[in-house]
Amino acid sequence: MTEFSYSPDTISVPAGKVTFWLVNSGSVAHDLIIRDSNNNRVAASELISAGDSLAFTVDNLAAGQYTFFCDQPGHEQSGMKGKLTVT
């Protein structure tokens, strides 16, 4: 996570319990929000300060297509988003 992107910005994971290792290499706080194809939030990480990291676990991700993004003001609009495929 940096200003204003995720690397990688396309992720594929198996359905079920998934742990994301979030590392904020940027200079401002970021988070990771997962949104389903109906635009509903299904999971949200804590806010991660610059230089910090966090293991973010989602207990039950169903198969499907999702987007993930940072919901700090202006970050998603600046390109901080990606695609998540759950199989």
List pLDDT tens digits, range 3-31.
999 999 999 999 999 999 999 999 999 99
Tell me if 3 is assigned to some domain: no
Tell me if 2 is assigned to some domain: no
**What's the CATH code of the domain at 31?**
2.60.40.420
- Count of domains observed in the chain: 1
| pLDDT the model gives residue 70 | 98
| pLDDT the model gives residue 76 | 97
Report the residue count for the chain: 87
Tell me if 34 is assigned to some domain: yes
**β-sheet with 81-86: strand ranges across:** 10-13, 81-86, 64-69, 33-36, 41-44
Tell me if 1 is assigned to some domain: no
**DSSP single-letter state for residue 47:** P
Tell me which residue range forms the domain holding 30: 10-86
Q: How confident is the model at residue 79 (pLDDT cuts 50, 70, 90)?
A: very high
